[in-house]
Protein backbone atom coordinates (compact mmCIF):
# COMPACT_ATOMS: atom_id res chain seq x y z
CA UNK A 1 0.00 0.00 0.00
CA UNK A 2 2.70 2.40 1.07
CA UNK A 3 4.77 1.35 -1.95
CA UNK A 4 1.96 2.27 -4.38
CA UNK A 5 1.49 5.61 -2.65
CA UNK A 6 5.19 6.46 -2.97
CA UNK A 7 5.15 5.36 -6.63
CA UNK A 8 2.14 7.58 -7.41
CA UNK A 9 3.65 10.51 -5.52
CA UNK A 10 6.94 10.13 -7.40
CA UNK A 11 5.10 10.01 -10.75
CA UNK A 12 3.04 13.07 -9.79
CA UNK A 13 6.15 15.06 -8.80
CA UNK A 14 7.99 14.01 -11.96
CA UNK A 15 5.18 15.04 -14.32
CA UNK A 16 4.61 18.26 -12.34
CA UNK A 17 8.28 19.11 -12.79
CA UNK A 18 8.08 18.40 -16.54
CA UNK A 19 5.00 20.62 -16.93
CA UNK A 20 6.58 23.36 -14.78
CA UNK A 21 9.78 23.26 -16.87
CA UNK A 22 7.91 23.39 -20.19
CA UNK A 23 5.80 26.29 -18.95
CA UNK A 24 8.93 28.09 -17.77
CA UNK A 25 10.58 27.65 -21.17
CA UNK A 26 7.49 28.95 -22.99
CA UNK A 27 7.33 31.96 -20.68
CA UNK A 28 11.05 32.64 -21.11
CA UNK A 29 10.93 32.38 -24.89
CA UNK A 30 7.71 34.22 -25.66
CA UNK A 31 6.65 36.49 -22.80
CA UNK A 32 8.13 39.99 -22.41
CA UNK A 33 10.62 40.16 -19.51
CA UNK A 34 8.43 42.64 -17.60
CA UNK A 35 5.77 39.91 -17.34
CA UNK A 36 8.23 37.35 -16.00
CA UNK A 37 8.73 38.67 -12.49
CA UNK A 38 10.20 35.40 -11.23
CA UNK A 39 12.34 34.64 -14.26
CA UNK A 40 15.20 37.08 -14.54
CA UNK A 41 17.45 35.88 -17.35
CA UNK A 42 19.41 38.63 -19.12
CA UNK A 43 22.16 37.56 -21.47
CA UNK A 44 24.63 40.19 -22.75
CA UNK A 45 23.35 42.77 -20.29
CA UNK A 46 25.44 45.46 -18.57
CA UNK A 47 29.02 44.82 -17.48
CA UNK A 48 30.02 42.71 -20.51
CA UNK A 49 29.76 39.49 -18.49
CA UNK A 50 28.97 37.42 -21.59
CA UNK A 51 32.11 38.65 -23.39
CA UNK A 52 34.28 38.23 -20.27
CA UNK A 53 33.12 34.67 -19.54
CA UNK A 54 33.56 33.71 -23.18
CA UNK A 55 37.07 35.16 -23.20
CA UNK A 56 38.18 33.43 -19.99
CA UNK A 57 37.40 30.08 -21.61
CA UNK A 58 40.01 30.88 -24.29
CA UNK A 59 42.73 31.98 -21.85
CA UNK A 60 45.26 29.27 -20.97
CA UNK A 61 46.73 30.91 -17.86
CA UNK A 62 46.96 34.23 -16.01
CA UNK A 63 49.80 35.16 -13.66
CA UNK A 64 47.65 37.90 -12.14
CA UNK A 65 43.95 37.17 -11.56
CA UNK A 66 41.45 39.76 -10.37
CA UNK A 67 38.17 38.79 -8.66
CA UNK A 68 35.48 41.00 -7.19
CA UNK A 69 32.57 43.26 -8.02
CA UNK A 70 32.17 46.01 -10.62
CA UNK A 71 34.97 47.83 -8.77
CA UNK A 72 37.18 44.99 -10.02
CA UNK A 73 36.28 44.89 -13.72
CA UNK A 74 36.01 48.69 -13.86
CA UNK A 75 39.04 49.34 -11.67
CA UNK A 76 41.95 47.09 -12.75
CA UNK A 77 43.13 47.80 -16.28
CA UNK A 78 45.24 45.10 -18.05
CA UNK A 79 46.81 47.75 -20.31
CA UNK A 80 48.42 49.47 -17.29
CA UNK A 81 49.71 46.17 -15.90
CA UNK A 82 51.09 45.43 -19.37
CA UNK A 83 53.00 48.74 -19.35
CA UNK A 84 54.90 47.38 -16.36
CA UNK A 85 55.58 44.05 -18.05
CA UNK A 86 52.68 42.04 -16.53
CA UNK A 87 51.06 40.74 -19.68
CA UNK A 88 49.57 37.58 -18.23
CA UNK A 89 46.50 39.07 -16.58
CA UNK A 90 42.79 38.37 -16.38
CA UNK A 91 40.00 40.28 -14.67
CA UNK A 92 37.21 37.93 -13.56
CA UNK A 93 35.15 40.59 -11.80
CA UNK A 94 31.39 40.75 -12.45
CA UNK A 95 28.51 43.02 -11.56
CA UNK A 96 27.66 43.01 -7.84
CA UNK A 97 29.84 39.92 -7.41
CA UNK A 98 29.73 38.81 -3.79
CA UNK A 99 31.77 36.07 -2.18
CA UNK A 100 29.11 33.47 -3.03
CA UNK A 101 29.79 34.05 -6.74
CA UNK A 102 33.56 34.41 -6.27
CA UNK A 103 33.46 30.87 -4.86
CA UNK A 104 31.72 29.65 -8.01
CA UNK A 105 34.09 31.38 -10.42
CA UNK A 106 37.24 30.27 -8.61
CA UNK A 107 35.95 26.71 -8.55
CA UNK A 108 35.45 26.90 -12.34
CA UNK A 109 38.57 28.74 -13.45
CA UNK A 110 41.27 28.76 -10.74
CA UNK A 111 43.04 25.54 -11.74
CA UNK A 112 42.88 26.41 -15.42
CA UNK A 113 44.28 29.95 -14.99
CA UNK A 114 46.84 28.87 -12.36
CA UNK A 115 47.58 32.44 -11.13
CA UNK A 116 50.73 33.43 -9.27
CA UNK A 117 48.83 36.22 -7.55
CA UNK A 118 45.13 36.82 -6.92
CA UNK A 119 44.06 40.41 -6.34
CA UNK A 120 40.82 40.07 -4.40
CA UNK A 121 38.85 43.32 -4.59
CA UNK A 122 36.91 43.71 -1.33
CA UNK A 123 34.25 46.40 -1.55
CA UNK A 124 32.55 46.48 1.89
CA UNK A 125 29.11 46.62 0.27
CA UNK A 126 29.52 43.08 -1.08
CA UNK A 127 29.57 41.73 2.48
CA UNK A 128 26.01 42.84 3.19
CA UNK A 129 24.45 42.01 -0.21
CA UNK A 130 22.33 38.88 -0.69
CA UNK A 131 24.13 38.19 -3.99
CA UNK A 132 21.00 37.30 -5.97
CA UNK A 133 21.65 39.93 -8.68
CA UNK A 134 25.14 38.59 -9.28
CA UNK A 135 24.05 34.95 -9.32
CA UNK A 136 21.42 35.76 -11.97
CA UNK A 137 24.13 37.52 -13.99
CA UNK A 138 26.42 34.48 -13.87
CA UNK A 139 23.62 31.99 -14.64
CA UNK A 140 22.63 33.98 -17.75
CA UNK A 141 26.12 34.72 -19.05
CA UNK A 142 28.40 31.85 -18.01
CA UNK A 143 27.91 28.10 -18.30
CA UNK A 144 25.59 26.27 -15.91
CA UNK A 145 27.01 23.35 -14.01
CA UNK A 146 26.94 21.85 -10.53
CA UNK A 147 28.40 25.09 -9.11
CA UNK A 148 25.45 27.15 -10.35
CA UNK A 149 23.09 24.38 -9.19
CA UNK A 150 24.48 24.85 -5.68
CA UNK A 151 23.47 28.53 -5.85
CA UNK A 152 19.83 27.37 -5.61
CA UNK A 153 20.46 26.08 -2.09
CA UNK A 154 22.60 29.06 -1.10
CA UNK A 155 19.92 31.59 -2.06
CA UNK A 156 16.68 29.59 -1.69
CA UNK A 157 15.02 32.10 -4.02
CA UNK A 158 12.49 31.33 -6.78
CA UNK A 159 14.28 33.61 -9.30
CA UNK A 160 17.46 31.56 -8.95
CA UNK A 161 15.56 28.27 -9.35
CA UNK A 162 13.69 29.46 -12.46
CA UNK A 163 16.70 31.12 -14.05
CA UNK A 164 18.87 28.06 -13.49
CA UNK A 165 16.31 25.71 -15.10
CA UNK A 166 15.79 28.09 -18.02
CA UNK A 167 19.55 28.69 -18.34
CA UNK A 168 20.19 24.96 -18.46
CA UNK A 169 17.68 24.68 -21.30
CA UNK A 170 19.40 27.54 -23.18
CA UNK A 171 22.82 25.92 -22.64
CA UNK A 172 21.74 22.44 -23.76
CA UNK A 173 19.86 23.74 -26.78
CA UNK A 174 22.78 25.98 -27.79
CA UNK A 175 20.52 28.99 -28.16
CA UNK A 176 23.02 31.37 -26.54
CA UNK A 177 25.84 30.51 -28.94
CA UNK A 178 24.50 32.86 -31.59
CA UNK A 179 24.21 35.84 -29.27
CA UNK A 180 26.74 38.57 -30.01
CA UNK A 181 27.72 41.35 -27.64
CA UNK A 182 29.24 44.54 -28.96
CA UNK A 183 32.47 45.58 -27.26
CA UNK A 184 31.13 49.13 -27.15
CA UNK A 185 27.72 49.87 -25.70
CA UNK A 186 26.06 52.41 -23.42
CA UNK A 187 29.25 54.35 -22.75
CA UNK A 188 31.26 51.21 -21.90
CA UNK A 189 34.11 49.66 -23.88
CA UNK A 190 35.26 46.09 -23.23
CA UNK A 191 39.04 45.73 -23.16
CA UNK A 192 40.50 42.25 -23.70
CA UNK A 193 41.48 40.76 -20.37
CA UNK A 194 38.13 41.42 -18.69
CA UNK A 195 38.30 45.18 -18.09
CA UNK A 196 35.50 47.64 -18.92
CA UNK A 197 36.43 51.25 -19.56
CA UNK A 198 33.76 53.86 -18.95
CA UNK A 199 33.41 56.61 -21.54
CA UNK A 200 35.17 59.70 -20.23
CA UNK A 201 32.84 61.02 -17.57
CA UNK A 202 33.23 62.97 -14.33
CA UNK A 203 31.09 63.13 -11.22
CA UNK A 204 29.00 65.87 -9.70
CA UNK A 205 29.62 65.37 -6.01
CA UNK A 206 26.72 65.04 -3.57
CA UNK A 207 26.53 65.03 0.20
CA UNK A 208 25.98 61.72 2.01
CA UNK A 209 24.25 61.04 5.29
CA UNK A 210 25.94 58.91 7.97
CA UNK A 211 26.17 55.23 7.05
CA UNK A 212 27.55 51.99 8.46
CA UNK A 213 28.99 49.00 6.64
CA UNK A 214 27.16 45.80 7.54
CA UNK A 215 28.34 42.23 7.24
CA UNK A 216 26.08 39.28 6.46
CA UNK A 217 27.16 36.00 8.10
CA UNK A 218 26.63 34.02 4.87
CA UNK A 219 28.97 36.31 2.93
CA UNK A 220 31.64 36.33 5.62
CA UNK A 221 31.52 32.53 5.81
CA UNK A 222 31.94 32.29 2.03
CA UNK A 223 34.80 34.82 2.12
CA UNK A 224 36.57 32.93 4.93
CA UNK A 225 36.13 29.69 2.99
CA UNK A 226 37.82 31.21 -0.06
CA UNK A 227 40.71 32.59 2.01
CA UNK A 228 41.22 29.20 3.67
CA UNK A 229 41.23 27.42 0.30
CA UNK A 230 43.78 29.84 -1.16
CA UNK A 231 46.03 29.40 1.87
CA UNK A 232 45.66 25.60 1.72
CA UNK A 233 46.68 25.71 -1.97
CA UNK A 234 49.58 28.11 -1.25
CA UNK A 235 48.21 30.63 -3.73
CA UNK A 236 49.42 34.15 -3.06
CA UNK A 237 46.64 36.71 -2.67
CA UNK A 238 46.17 40.31 -1.64
CA UNK A 239 42.97 41.98 -0.46
CA UNK A 240 42.40 45.40 -2.03
CA UNK A 241 39.70 47.95 -1.29
CA UNK A 242 39.51 50.10 -4.41
CA UNK A 243 38.98 53.86 -3.92
CA UNK A 244 35.50 55.35 -3.69
CA UNK A 245 34.70 59.07 -3.45
CA UNK A 246 36.01 60.56 -0.22
CA UNK A 247 32.58 61.98 0.64
CA UNK A 248 30.96 58.53 0.32
CA UNK A 249 33.82 56.82 2.16
CA UNK A 250 33.87 59.29 5.06
CA UNK A 251 30.09 59.07 5.43
CA UNK A 252 30.63 55.51 6.71
CA UNK A 253 31.24 55.54 10.43
CA UNK A 254 32.85 52.12 10.80
CA UNK A 255 35.64 52.06 8.20
CA UNK A 256 38.14 51.07 10.91
CA UNK A 257 36.02 48.03 11.74
CA UNK A 258 36.08 46.87 8.12
CA UNK A 259 39.83 47.48 7.86
CA UNK A 260 40.46 45.37 10.97
CA UNK A 261 38.23 42.61 9.56
CA UNK A 262 40.31 42.47 6.35
CA UNK A 263 43.66 42.89 8.13
CA UNK A 264 42.86 39.77 10.16
CA UNK A 265 42.37 37.74 6.96
CA UNK A 266 45.53 38.54 4.99
CA UNK A 267 47.62 41.24 3.35
CA UNK A 268 45.23 44.12 2.83
CA UNK A 269 45.47 47.58 1.27
CA UNK A 270 42.76 50.21 1.59
CA UNK A 271 43.38 52.61 -1.28
CA UNK A 272 41.00 55.16 0.17
CA UNK A 273 43.96 55.90 2.42
CA UNK A 274 46.78 55.35 -0.07
CA UNK A 275 45.99 57.55 -3.08
CA UNK A 276 44.85 61.15 -3.34
CA UNK A 277 41.95 61.48 -5.76
CA UNK A 278 39.44 64.20 -6.52
CA UNK A 279 35.78 63.16 -6.17
CA UNK A 280 34.72 65.19 -9.22
CA UNK A 281 37.69 64.58 -11.52
CA UNK A 282 38.54 60.91 -10.88
CA UNK A 283 35.12 59.24 -10.50
CA UNK A 284 32.04 58.84 -12.67
CA UNK A 285 29.70 58.04 -9.77
CA UNK A 286 30.12 57.97 -6.01
CA UNK A 287 31.94 54.64 -5.93
CA UNK A 288 33.37 53.94 -9.41
CA UNK A 289 36.59 55.38 -10.81
CA UNK A 290 36.76 56.87 -14.29
CA UNK A 291 39.80 56.19 -16.48
CA UNK A 292 41.80 59.08 -15.00
CA UNK A 293 41.23 57.60 -11.54
CA UNK A 294 42.02 54.05 -12.67
CA UNK A 295 45.36 55.23 -14.12
CA UNK A 296 46.44 56.72 -10.77
CA UNK A 297 45.09 53.83 -8.68
CA UNK A 298 46.63 51.04 -10.78
CA UNK A 299 50.08 52.65 -10.95
CA UNK A 300 50.11 53.10 -7.17
CA UNK A 301 48.92 49.50 -6.67
CA UNK A 302 51.64 48.08 -8.92
CA UNK A 303 54.24 50.21 -7.13
CA UNK A 304 53.17 48.86 -3.73
CA UNK A 305 52.99 45.25 -4.93
CA UNK A 306 56.51 45.54 -6.36
CA UNK A 307 57.82 47.08 -3.14
CA UNK A 308 56.27 44.21 -1.17
CA UNK A 309 57.74 41.72 -3.66
CA UNK A 310 54.27 40.37 -4.37
CA UNK A 311 54.33 40.74 -8.12
3-state secondary structure the chain: CHHHHHHHHHHHHHHHHHHHHHHHHHHHHHCCHHHCCCCCCCCCCCCCHHHHHHHHCCCCCCCEEEECCHHHHCCCCHHHHHHCCCCCEEECCCCCCCHHHHHHHHHHHHHHHCCCEEEEECCHHHHCCCCHHHHHHHHHHCCCCHHHHHHHHHHCCHHHHHHHHHHHHHHHHCCCCCCCCCCEECCEEEECCCEEEECCCCCCCCCCCCECCCCCHHHHHHHHHHHHHHHHCCCEEEEEECCCCHHHHHHECCHHHHHHHHHCCCCEEECCCCCCCCCCCCEEECCEECHHHHHHHHHHHHHHHHHCCCC
Give me the pLDDT at residue 191, please.
Answer: 97
Give me the pLDDT at residue 259, please.
Answer: 98
Does the pTM surpass 0.85? The reply is yes
Give me the pLDDT at residue 294, please.
Answer: 97
Evaluate whether 292 touches 80 at the Cβ level (below 8 Å): no
Q: What are phi and psi of 162, to 5 degrees?
A: -65, -45
In residues, how long is the chain?
311
Give me the pLDDT at residue 2, please.
Answer: 79
With a cut of 70, list the residues of the chain below it in pLDDT: none
Residue 223 to residue 265: CA distance in whole angstroms = 9
Evaluate whether 242 touches 293 at the Cβ level (below 8 Å): no
Give me the pLDDT at residue 210, please.
Answer: 95
Give me the pLDDT at residue 267, please.
Answer: 97
Give me the pLDDT at residue 4, please.
Answer: 85
Give me the pLDDT at residue 46, please.
Answer: 87
Amino acid sequence: MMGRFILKLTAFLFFSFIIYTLTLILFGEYLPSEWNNNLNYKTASGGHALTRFREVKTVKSADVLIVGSSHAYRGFDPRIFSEYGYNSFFNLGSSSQTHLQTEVLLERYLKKLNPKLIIYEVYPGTFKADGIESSLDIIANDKNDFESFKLIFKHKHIKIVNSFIYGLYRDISGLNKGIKESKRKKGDEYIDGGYVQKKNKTFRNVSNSKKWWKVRDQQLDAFDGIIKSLKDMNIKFVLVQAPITSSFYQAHQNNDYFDSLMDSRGTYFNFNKLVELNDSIHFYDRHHLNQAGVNIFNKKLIQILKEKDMI
